[in-house]
């Protein structure tokens, strides 16, 4: 569909995984859906739940794959193919254990960094040149095995910060949509804090 944008949040479906570190991608697109008053609907043909909106006159589909993280590309490829979405209009929001809690990093492409959800999307789309917004979730210092960490929940201090991070990440996704990726990167990449990412445009 001409000019359609797709914003995908990655996570695992089901109550068991809700609010875990690995599901911050879901949390960001849910924040966008709430802002845009967009309703979610389960669509089995895509193995995903979708919400449709037209913020700032842009047609947008929000997507939460229901395939579990490691097979996220199946759902993303199905939506991209059905709507004929240009890769330049795809944004994937994902957790990143290599970034500290509170850091945002938007890039126009690159490697998966070992993230299985991004690996799956790269395989199914046949490219790594799609935008991805990484949301830092930190990691246990010195730990190599992080499965328990990413499937755990934020502590009370981190949760307060993450509520702000989710809002700023949603702001960054909106900037990507309206102003383009370079502006969104320069304005929002970095650590979310009182003096960061809220400055007026220069």
Q: Give the residue numbers marked as catalytic.
A: 22
> Does residue 96 contact residue 105 with C-beta atoms inside 8 Å?
yes
Q: CB-based burial of residue 86 (10 Å sphere; 0-12 exposed, 13-18 middle, 19+ buried)? A: middle
Q: 60 by DSSP, 3-state: which? A: strand
Report residue 126 as tokens. 């046949």
Provide, for the chain, the percentages of residues in helix, strand and coil under a 3-state DSSP scheme, each rounded to the nearest 5. 45, 20, 35
**Separation between Cα atoms, residue 147 and residue 114, nearest integer Å:** 13
Strand pairing partners for 42? 49
Q: Could you tell me whether strands 48-53 and 90-96 are parallel, antiparallel, or unpaired per DSSP bridges?
A: unpaired
The number of CA neighbours under 13 Å toward the Cβ of 45 is 5
């Amino acid at each position: 569909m001409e000019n359609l944008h797709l914003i995908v949040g990655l996570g695992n479906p089901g109550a068991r995984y809700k609010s875990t570190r690995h599901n911050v991608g879901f949390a960001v697109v849910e924040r966008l859906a709430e802002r845009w008053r967009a309703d979610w609907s389960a669509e089995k043909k895509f193995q995903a739940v979708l919400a449709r909106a037209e913020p700032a006159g842009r047609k947008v589909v929000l997507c939460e794959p229901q395939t579990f993280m490691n097979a996220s590309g199946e759902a993303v490829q199905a939506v991209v193919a059905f709507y004929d979405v240009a890769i330049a209009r795809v944004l994937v929001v994902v957790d990143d254990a290599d970034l500290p809690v509170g850091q945002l990093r938007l890039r126009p492409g690159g490697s998966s960094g070992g993230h299985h959800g991004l690996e799956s999307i790269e395989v199914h789309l046949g490219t790594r040149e799609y935008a991805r917004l990484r949301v830092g979730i930190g990691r246990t210092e010195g730990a190599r095995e992080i499965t328990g960490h990413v499937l755990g929940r934020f502590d009370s201090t981190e949760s307060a910060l993450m509520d702000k991070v989710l809002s700023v990440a949603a702001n960054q996704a909106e900037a990507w949509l309206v102003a383009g990726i370079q502006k969104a990167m320069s304005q929002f990449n970095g650590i979310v804090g009182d003096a960061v990412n809220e400055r007026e445009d220069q």
